Amino acid sequence: MPAIPSTPDPLARAQPRSIVLCVGPGGVGKTTTAATLALQAACRGQKVLVVTIDPSRRLGQALGFENAPAGTELAVDSPAITGTGGSLHALLLDGRVVFDRLVAAYAPSEETAAAIVKNPIYRATTENLGGALEYAAIAQLQLLHAEGRYDLIVLDTPPTANALDFLVAPERIQELVNNPATRLLTGGGRLGSRILGIGNGIVIKTLSTIGGGDFVRDLGEFLRDFSEVLEAYRNRAGDFQELLASPAAGVILTTSASPFSVREAVHFLGVLRGRGLRVDGVILNRVLPPFAPLPALELLRPPLARQLGDQADAALERIVAAYAGLRAEGEHSLAAVRVIHEAYADLPIWALPRQEPPPTALSDLHALGGQFVEMRT
């Protein structure tokens, strides 16, 4: 299973995209590979924004997030980009900031937007809503793409455990707005007002008993005002689904070579293609190469005995066990390529070697970007 050395990174080989979704299991270095791909694209002269969710502390420092206000697009300065005509900005996704921007974009007036963001029901909903980060990522990507300020937006999506929530978020927004219960409560204004407006009906009495009069007032105002935002966003949700399935958007899946991660990756590749998304390739991250067998133990024992005396046998046992583990990891890498290729023979597969310590500086990311190796079966 030969490798092709010195190949460009996956985005350089893929069709031109304006959006790239980086997906994959948690804990496989997906955020690092997303930042690496974004940096390499900037070095090729593109204006790039990488949107990330939960970088490691050191990687966050390298991208400039440490002392920046939440939701700020930060210029990332790297000598590797200087003189290329490209640029790199980084954005740490903040759900609250995104929802506020969403309200500002879709509310019918500035007064309505201000009333919504001050409403305690709105704050509680956006901070505790299940899947809030996925909704925020969709909204952020949609707003940024519409602005057209970047040639390429690289989005580090939630891990695959939550990635399906990310992909179906536009559909759920449409379902929410079209849900009869939602329309009853917000319901063309008049019906919702009769249910939640001032009155002595059973609904009002019950809600007042549970939450108090202020709660009922806040809920009524929130539903009245926010329904218009939801309706406007619903109209855009279908557009976003079309965008994800268009040639403008591509997907890069990052995984480790562990059997569990590979099985999860193969399953998710089927989900992605089933939804009409264009998958540009798979990155096997933190791989080890195949290792040759150890030399005969009788060749190792004498030098160890000279150095360690009667502790040589115990040391040799530890060496043999550790080396066996490394060989097994190397075999996992080869097996991972075979499994993915058997399921999706048309997909390019790249390997990135394990880095010790993990990349934490822009110079590390730039160096890592030169180590992509395309695998062939």
* pLDDT (0 to 100) of residue 214: 61
Phi, psi of 346 (to 5 degrees): -85, -10
Task: Give the range among 214-228, 253-267, 301-315 with minimum mean pLDDT.
Answer: 214-228
Please compute the mean of the pLDDT values over residues 345-369 and round it to a whole number: 89
* pLDDT (0 to 100) of residue 326: 79
- Using CA atoms, how far apart are residues 267 and 339, in angstroms rounded to an integer? 11
Q: Are strands 152-156 and 19-23 parallel, antiparallel or unpaired?
A: parallel
CB burial string 206-226: b at 16+ within 10 A, e below: ebeeeeeeeebbbbbbbbbbb
For residue 301, give Cα distances in angstroms to 217, 297, 298, 322, 338: 81, 6, 5, 16, 37
Please compute the mean of the pLDDT values over residues 233-258 and round it to a whole number: 84
Q: pTM of the predicted model, to two decimals?
A: 0.80
Please compute the mean of the pLDDT values over residues 255-283 and round it to a whole number: 92
- Split at pLDDT 50, 70, 90, the class of 210 is very low
Mean pLDDT of the chain: 79
For residue 87, list its beta bridge partners.
47
* pLDDT (0 to 100) of residue 184: 52
- Split at pLDDT 50, 70, 90, the class of 197 is very low
Is the pLDDT reported for residue 128 higher than 70? no
Among candidate residues 317, 255, 307, the one with its CA nearest the CA of residue 284: 255
CATH classification code of 3-107+132-166+239-291+328-375: 3.40.50.300
- Split at pLDDT 50, 70, 90, the class of 21 is very high
* pLDDT (0 to 100) of residue 7: 57
* pLDDT (0 to 100) of residue 196: 43
* 23-78 pLDDT tens trace: 988 888 898 999 999 999 999 999 999 998 777 777 788 787 877 777 889 999 89
* pLDDT (0 to 100) of residue 195: 42
Are 266 and 343 within 8 A, CB to CB?
A: yes
H-type helices in 281-350, by residue range? 297-308, 312-343
Whether the bond between 357 and the residue before it is cis, its omega within 30 degrees of 0, is yes
* 170-193 pLDDT tens trace: 666 666 556 555 555 555 444 344
Most confident of 64-68, 216-220, 292-296: 64-68
* 325-347 pLDDT tens trace: 878 877 888 889 899 999 999 99
* pLDDT (0 to 100) of residue 118: 87
Please compute the mean of the pLDDT values over residues 289-303 and round it to a whole number: 77
* pLDDT (0 to 100) of residue 206: 44
Looking at per-residue pLDDT, the higher value among 305 and 20 belongs to 20
First vs last C-alpha separation in the chain: 5
Looking at per-residue pLDDT, the higher value among 193 and 249 belongs to 249
* pLDDT (0 to 100) of residue 269: 94
* pLDDT (0 to 100) of residue 254: 95
Please compute the mean of the pLDDT values over residues 205-232 and round it to a whole number: 62
Q: Are strands 152-156 and 73-75 parallel, antiparallel or unpaired?
A: unpaired
- Split at pLDDT 50, 70, 90, the class of 358 is confident
* pLDDT (0 to 100) of residue 216: 56
Is the pLDDT reported for residue 289 higher than 80? no
- Split at pLDDT 50, 70, 90, the class of 316 is confident
Is the pLDDT reported for residue 82 higher than 80? yes
Please compute the mean of the pLDDT values over residues 211-232 and round it to a whole number: 66
Looking at per-residue pLDDT, the higher value among 138 and 43 belongs to 43
* pLDDT (0 to 100) of residue 165: 67
Is the pLDDT reported for residue 6 higher than 50? no
Please compute the mean of the pLDDT values over residues 147-175 and round it to a whole number: 77
